[in-house]
DNA sequence: CTACTGTATATATATACAGTAG
DNA sequence: CTACTGTATATATATACAGTAG
């Protein structure tokens, strides 16, 4: 029941202000398809859609689906029954569930429960095992990250790391940000703390690579969180 | 892919107390069906299942489904294609689906299809009707936004706007960013383009408020996208 | 009995064709 | 032109039938 509202309020983007217009009925059909899918675990047939909207010809419904496909909301396949691929719908399967911690120390300590749990589209760079930490003042200033920003850290293998990537190295009692520098077969790690120095290492086995900074998000809900001074 | 583990760990309850135990293959088939549904938004056909498990006769697969139905995990309907009702599965539905456009001009033009559709947790500030645009160089530099960042724009009413909020004002042919300034009962809009000026307005009816900048995300997958110069 | 193969068949379903109305 | 109706048709698909192997 809880979720019913959200579905009725059209979870598929209305593209608010004239953005990529769906007609009223196109939007309703798309919403119906998602609602039906969620409720039944299978899709409505074109006939089901027609019945719902009192459209008597399957051709007409098919044309609406064609319009939705042209506008990028669907992908169809000739003759696949109840088999439209609805794009941009989260069925709970591919979004990664990402815990959010108040600091990187807390996140890596191993025994803290997350501040919250968000679902993050993998397109943002999240993987299985990713987590978010709230940035402290100055912690990642060189990357344009401000205090309070949510920094996404995704697990990675040393072999996957590109030169220049920002990584987290830590143990259970301390963790911090480094820039990874690759020169030939040896690596070095530049401490990103103000005044931090470069450490050279060839044996990365025990360095405790937690992950790599995959991105960050700054939420601008309170004006106070805006950075009003140009820099 | 992301939650594949979770699925393989079998999200479908085994009905705890010896009640109707599933055989190994029955469990695998059920998991596959859910996994497939999540990935594609439509169900696998009996033939799809057969292919996956190298079972060559549709009859055999059908018998497994019959067994799953008898044990209370499914409800079937004669001859409904890709239309098994899978019981006890949560198909999600709380994340907001957000279209992503290459620029704010494209987003507000009304006839562009989105670059992609991402699902965004409402905790990031997304609402029904929100969308993402890729920032152009300098466009929102004062906020710390760099070229290529994904800027989240969420619909908002004028009455909800706080003093200092960054908003998008536009028509179908042009749109840009402004800072909203409230002084008593009158508003002013400071153009955020370099060298932009402040416009005072008391009649907001026709201003074309598209939405408010609710946040931005910077993905750091390529080193080139990192802002290496401190500012 | 279970666990299949392999073929045949009924049908649900998407699509195509031929129109009509405004 | 859009927004349909109504019929016909190809086909994807679920099911049934007839077996085989262990």
Which residues of chain B have a CB within 8 Å of the CB of A36?
none
Residue with the larger pLDDT of the pair B84 and A13:
B84
Residue with the larger pLDDT of the pair B25 and B199:
B25
Closest-CA distance, A205 to chain B, in angstroms, reads: 24
**DSSP sequence for chain B:** -TTHHHHHT--S---TTTTTPPPHHHHHHHHHHHHHHHHHSSPPPHHHHHHHTT---HHHHHHHHHHHHHTTSEE--TT-TT--EETT------SEEEEEES-HHHHHHSS---SEEEEE-GGGT--TT-EEEEPPTTTTGGGT--TTPEEEEE---GGGPPTT-EEEEE-SS-EEEEEEEEETTEEEEEE-STT--EEEES--TTS-EEEEEEEEEEE-SSGGGS--S--
Per residue in A55-98, pLDDT (tens digit) is 999 999 999 999 999 999 999 999 999 999 999 888 877 778 89
Kindly tell me if the per-residue pLDDT of B208 is higher than 50: yes
Q: What is the CA radius of gyration of chain A?
A: 24
Q: Are A175 and A87 in contact (CB under 8 A)?
A: no
pLDDT at residue B222, rounded to an integer: 60
Per residue in B49-79, pLDDT (tens digit) is 999 999 999 999 999 999 999 999 999 999 9
Band of pLDDT at residue A229, cut at 50, 70 and 90: very low
Chain D nucleotides close to protein (CB under 7 A) are 3-8, 10-18
Q: What is the largest CA-CA distance in chain A?
A: 73
Ranking A110-119, A155-164, A219-228 by mean pLDDT, the lowest is A219-228
Which residues of chain B have a CB within 8 Å of the CB of A83?
40, 42-43, 81-82
Chain C nucleotides close to protein (CB under 7 A) are 3-8, 10-18
Percentage of chain B exceeding pLDDT 70: 81
Kindly tell me if the per-residue pLDDT of B14 is higher than 90: no
Nucleotide with the nearest C1' to A80 CA? D12
Interchain pair A17, B155: CB under 8 A: yes
pLDDT at residue A11, rounded to an integer: 53
Kindly tell me if the per-residue pLDDT of A30 is higher than 60: yes
Kindly tell me if the per-residue pLDDT of B100 is higher than 90: yes
pLDDT at residue A88, rounded to an integer: 85
Q: Quick one: residue B59, left, alpha or beta (phi over 0 = left, psi -120 to 50 = alpha)?
A: alpha
The domain locations on chain A are 4-86, 96-220
Band of pLDDT at residue A4, cut at 50, 70 and 90: very low
Average pLDDT of every residue of chain A: 82
Cα(B155)–Cα(B225) distance, integer angstroms? 28
Confirm whether any atom of chain D, the nucleic acid strand, is less than 7 Å from CB of A54.
yes
What is the CATH code of the structural domain delimited by B96-225?
2.10.109.10
Which residues of chain B have a CB within 8 Å of the CB of A91?
37-38, 41, 91-92
Average pLDDT of every residue of chain B: 82
pLDDT at residue A117, rounded to an integer: 85
Mean pLDDT of B86-113: 84
pLDDT at residue A145, rounded to an integer: 93
Q: Are A140 and A166 in contact (CB under 8 A)?
A: yes
Band of pLDDT at residue A207, cut at 50, 70 and 90: low
**Would you say the ipTM is above 0.85?**
no
pLDDT at residue B20, rounded to an integer: 57
Confirm whether any atom of chain D, the nucleic acid strand, is less than 7 Å from CB of A66.
no
Closest-CA distance, A129 to chain B, in angstroms, reads: 9
pLDDT at residue A15, rounded to an integer: 38
Cα(B113)–Cα(B118) distance, integer angstroms? 14
Interchain pair B220, A143: CB under 8 A: yes
Residue with the larger pLDDT of the pair B93 and B84:
B84
E strand residue ranges, chain A: 74-75, 85-86, 96-101, 116-120, 131-134, 150-154, 166-170, 175-183, 186-191, 198-201, 209-219
How many other C-beta atoms are found inside a 10 Å radius of the C-beta of residue A68?
Answer: 24
The domain B4-86 having CATH identifier 3.40.630.10: the answer here is: no
Mean pLDDT of B110-119: 81
Nucleotide with the nearest C1' to B60 CA? C4
Cα(B100)–Cα(B164) distance, integer angstroms? 25
pLDDT at residue A184, rounded to an integer: 77
Mean pLDDT of B156-174: 86
Confirm whether any atom of chain C, the nucleic acid strand, is less than 7 Å from CB of B158.
no
Residue-level length of chain A: 231
Confirm whether any atom of chain D, the nucleic acid strand, is less than 7 Å from CB of B57.
yes
Q: What is the DSSP letter of A221?
A: -
Which residues of chain B have a CB within 8 Å of the CB of A142?
227-228, 230
pLDDT at residue A20, rounded to an integer: 54
* Nucleic strand C contacts from chain B, 120-149, CB < 7 Å: none
Band of pLDDT at residue A33, cut at 50, 70 and 90: very high
CATH fold of A96-220, please? Umud Fragment, subunit A (2.10.109)
Residue with the larger pLDDT of the pair B29 and B203:
B29
Of B95, B23, B10, give the one whose Cα is nearest residue A88. Answer: B95
Based on the number of CB atoms within 10 Å of its own CB, is B137 exposed (0-12), middle (13-18) or buried (19 or more)? exposed
Percentage of chain A exceeding pLDDT 70: 80
């Amino acid at each position: 029941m809880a979720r019913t509202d959200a579905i009725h309020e059209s979870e598929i983007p209305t593209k608010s202000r004239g953005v990529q217009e769906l007609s009223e009925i196109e939007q309703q059909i798309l919403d119906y398809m998602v609602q039906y899918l969620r409720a039944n675990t299978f899709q409505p047939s074109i006939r089901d859609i027609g019945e719902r909207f009192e459209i008597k010809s399957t051709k007409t419904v098919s044309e609406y689906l064609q319009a939705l496909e042209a506008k990028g909301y669907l992908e169809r396949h000739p003759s696949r029954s109840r088999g439209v691929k609805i794009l941009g719908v989260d069925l709970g399967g591919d979004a990664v569930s990402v815990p959010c911690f108040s600091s990187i120390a807390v996140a890596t300590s191993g025994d803290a429960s997350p501040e919250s749990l968000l679902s993050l589209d993998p397109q943002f760079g999240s993987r299985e095992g990713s987590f978010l930490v709230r940035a402290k003042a100055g912690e990642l200033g060189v990357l344009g990250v401000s205090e309070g920003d949510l920094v996404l850290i995704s697990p990675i293998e040393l072999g996957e790391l590109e030169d220049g990537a920002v990584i987290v190295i830590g143990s259970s009692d301390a963790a911090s940000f480094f820039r990874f520098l690759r020169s030939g077969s040896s690596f070095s790690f530049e401490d990103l703390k103000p005044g931090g120095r470069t450490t050279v290492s060839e044996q990365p086995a025990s360095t405790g690579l937690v992950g790599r900074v995959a991105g960050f998000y700054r939420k601008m809900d309170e004006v106070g969180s805006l950075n009003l001074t140009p820099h």
